[in-house]
A and B are shown apart, each in its own frame.
Chain A
Amino acid sequence: MNYLDELENKTIYIIREAYARFRNMSLLWSIGKDSTSLLWIARKAFFGNIPFPVIHIDTSFKFKEIYEFRSKYGKEWNLNLIISKNKKALKEGISPEKGKFECCDALKTEALKQTLGEFNFKALLLAIRRDEHGIRAKERYFSPRGIDFKWNYKDQPAELWDLYKSQLEAEQHIRIHPMLHWTELDIWKYIRREKIPIVNLYFAKNGKRYRSIGCKTCCLPVDSNANTTRKIIKELEITKISERNGRAQDKENSYTMQKLRSLGYM
């Protein structure tokens, strides 16, 4: 078995463990490369048809390419798609200009809370990876959240071997991170091997490409001529710039990510 197979097999194992315990669950699809890979593997885990809904948290500030991709593959992969929007906050005119922390918190974390409340999901699959950010490296595969969504990073449950947390206290939900052990490079090698369709913003146009995508307002492209998966892999093998370099929220304050995450951010 090669390394990518090992990663994939473990991810399938975790997805199936999650489903075995929490039938009432959902997958969070940002339509970026990681969650699209997770979706791809989830389809494999369930032999082509994911038996639970897929949530897209829509801040309404996303790139148009993301919306196009969503509508195309939502149909092609037969997804039961839930679009999660914090309509109230949007009506009140919240936007990144009025503070990135507040914007992320309202349009992502708060929107997700509303959707979770509405559908009463007990478990959420998320495609975060340990190599993305030091705070994410501390995560568990099965990471419980309280009713207020808070991540109690100071007192996380033990997680031994592949024996994941199976029971929840009432009012809790659990974040499940089946891609935690993948790196950015692994993801691209896997996308190339599997020929996974991916939003074209990742591929260089006029000397620029996005390494990480989210809201149009808070993502900047990096200098690059990599316009194929092969070239992206080559680029990543030598780069010394970190993946989320183009993301605004990580930079503003060294602890913003930790603060956001402890409040329930992804």
Chain B
Amino acid sequence: MRKDVLKIVVIGHVDHGKSTLIGRLLLDTDSLPDEKITEIKRICKELGKETELAYLVDQLKEEREHAITIDTTQIFFKTHRRNYVIIDAPGHVEFIKNMLTGASLAEAAILMIDVQEGVMEQTRRHAYLINFLGLNRVIVVFNKMDLIDYKKERFDKVKTELLKFLGNLKIKPFFLIPVSAKEGTNLSKKSQKMNWYKGPTLLKALDSLKLNTNIVKRPLRFPIQDIYEINGEKIIVGRIASGMVKQGQEVVLCPSFKGTRINSIRVFGKRNKTKAKAGESIGLTFNRPLFVKRGEVVAQKETPPKLTNRFKGNIFWMSDKPLYINKTITLRCAAQKVECGVEKIEKRIDPSRLETIQVNAKELKRNEIGIVVLKTKKMIVMERFNFIEELGRFILEQQNQVCAGGIITEKLLA
């Protein structure tokens, strides 16, 4: 029997209870070693505090002392339906790059909101960012219901406020669940205290989410990672980003469009492999020797990509040094690495207020989102994010530092 695995990120404003929720889920799904619970109790005692579930998650010393999450972390639990990896992301604005690091690996998001406080700056920013990362499976959890006596009125009010905001982003949450992470209400079991709530518990809601598998049906894209020479033979290695590869298939190498045929598919320990699909790390040999280099993309002859050197995208700027238009920076997409410049910053957006700060801006500052037009110095293989994720996302680097992440929304004419 095989269970699938779902990676979820927990996001929301600082102190809205993300780490507590995770601690509670671990406890309720019986995923904690006994000694861990004892250790947490002991540490809390040492620090002179009440036992705090969040400490399970907040492992770093500074985090315990200041009761905040600094970096992203991952924790495992399982239900009868499937296994889960929870990614806890920090709420503080200074640690936003850590939040993005965690969220970029997730397949679904739990957005937490404190019913007492309602929608806050970080709630908005995080919602904007997961939308920006292309995550569309979102469950909203309204926490701290115990502090408002489980009253439906307050829940409804915050729900309306949040839905209005999410509507602007075109995020449609799959579920909206009132909970108390501290008490454990509506996480694994329901409670009489909220009999007005007819929806599923959080665990039931999570179990009902379906994973995306249609990437195999897209056209073949095989970004070349490296070329190994083994016993005088050239083996082209990489991981299939989309589609399938078959022995004997006619392919082209992009951007050169040199054509060849797949002679063999190599996986160590497996003889006579005749096909492979998206997600597999394989080796290929070609029928005729070609000069090949890292970054090129193998595509099926009939469905080659349209090369581009100009595209529109959304980027999130993380560096202290601002992004200036027309300044040369490095773009990386799959195994491709090229010089590029931002031709235009159409909009400069403050992600917490969702406000456009400036139209046709000249620069983008730290923690701002830009809707930009990028121009690369060379033609490259790129796709819209919604079409082929791996070739639709990129990072920008400056002096060896990652400065931005982004997704491609539109390919433009050169």
Contacts and interface: CB of A to CB of B under 8 A. Distances in A.
Interface string A3-34: 10110111011001101100000000000000
A241 B235 CA distance: 45
A130 B4 CA distance: 19
A137 interface: yes
Interface residues of A, number: 54
B35 interface: yes
Contacts of A87: none
B39 A138 contact: no
Contacts of A16: 225-226, 237-238, 281
B59 A135 contact: yes
A11 to B, nearest CB: 8
A113 interface: no
A77 B58 CA distance: 41
Nearest to A245: B35
Given A16-B225, A46-B228, A137-B73, A158 B35 contact: no
Nearest to A8: B281
A158 B225 contact: no
A242 B337 CA distance: 42
Contact of A3 (B5, B59, B70): B5
Contact of B73 (A17, A134, A258): A134
B35 A242 contact: yes
Contacts of B74: 130-131, 137, 181
A156 interface: yes
B226 A20 contact: yes
Contact of A255 (B61, B225, B235): B61
B338 to A, nearest CB: 13
Chain B at the A interface: mostly helix, strand, loop or mixed?
A: mixed
B98 A240 contact: no
A71 interface: no
Nearest to B405: A160
Contact of A258 (B35, B61, B100, B279): B61
A3 B30 CA distance: 22
Contacts of B279: 1, 6, 9
A2 B281 CA distance: 14
A165 B2 contact: no
Contacts of B235: 47
A168 B400 contact: yes
B239 interface: yes
Interface stretch (B118-126, B141-149, B160-168, B390-398): B390-398
Interface of A: 1-3, 5-6, 8-10, 12-13, 16-17, 19-20, 43-49, 130-131, 133-135, 137-138, 140, 153-154, 156-163, 165-169, 181, 183, 239-242, 245, 254-255, 258
10 closest Cβ contacts across the A-B interface? A134-B59, A158-B97, A242-B33, A167-B400, A12-B281, A160-B405, A44-B268, A137-B73, A138-B71, A20-B226
Interface of B: 2-5, 30, 32-36, 39, 42-43, 46, 56-57, 59-62, 70-76, 83, 85, 97-98, 100-101, 104-105, 225-226, 228, 230, 235, 237-239, 266-269, 277, 279-281, 283, 294, 318, 332-333, 335, 337, 390, 393-395, 397, 400-402, 405
Given A6-B279, A16-B225, 20 more contacts: A3-B4, A3-B5, A3-B83, A9-B281, A12-B281, A16-B226, A134-B59, A138-B72, A140-B101, A156-B98, A158-B101, A159-B101, A159-B402, A160-B393, A163-B395, A163-B402, A167-B400, A239-B33, A242-B36, A258-B60
